[in-house]
């Protein structure tokens, strides 16, 4: 299977014979930075060879950095009776915490992830959830301070 990223940053395509699988997450107005509690909306679409048994959009936070990473699915929107070619809308309020942050040792990131099963097809878009829609930057820690 050849995997190719398209020129659209939120589109995943995998060549399977002569068929293409496409998944897309589109956030209204292309917005990716949000304040806590703000409503996020948009649509997701996909085109796969056969209707998936399961299609859902997950809001996920995860940590990256030193030590063991952590993650949690905060919200799941299931799409009933998914078709092989489908588009669905979504809208929901974002949580009030935790904030997106980056520090010297660890960062916390948020993603909206569309996933289809079977086939393990997924597409994720990173978003920021923090006051003013701006990632919280933790101060650098220097020894002895």
Give residue-wise pLDDT tens across range 71-103: 999 999 999 999 999 999 999 999 999 999 999
3-state secondary structure of 88: strand
- Whole-model pTM: value is 0.83
Topology of domain 2-130 in CATH is Immunoglobulin-like (2.60.40)
Q: Are 108 and 72 in contact (CB under 8 A)?
A: no
Distance, CA of 36 to CA of 93 (rounded, Å): 8
DSSP-derived pairing of the beta strands 136-137 and 101-102:
parallel
Q: Is residue 13 over pLDDT 50?
A: no
Helix/strand/coil percentages in the chain, nearest 5: 5, 60, 40
Assign 5 a pLDDT band (cuts: 50, 70, 90).
very low
């Amino acid at each position: 299977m050849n995997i190719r990223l398209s020129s659209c940053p939120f589109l995943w395509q995998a060549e399977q014979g002569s068929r293409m699988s496409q998944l897309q997450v589109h956030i209204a107005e292309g917005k990716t930075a949000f304040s806590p509690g703000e409503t996020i909306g948009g649509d997701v679409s996909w085109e796969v060879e056969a209707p998936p048994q399961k299609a859902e959009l997950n809001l996920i936070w995860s940590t990256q950095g030193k030590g063991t990473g952590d993650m949690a699915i905060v919200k799941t929107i299931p799409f009933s009776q998914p078709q092989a070619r489908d588009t669905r809308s979504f809208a929901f309020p974002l949580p009030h915490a935790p904030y997106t942050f980056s520090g010297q040792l660890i960062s916390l990131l948020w993603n909206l992830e569309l996933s289809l099963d079977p086939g393990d097809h997924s597409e994720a878009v990173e978003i920021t959830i923090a006051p003013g829609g701006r990632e919280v930057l933790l101060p650098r820690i220097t020894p002895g301070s």
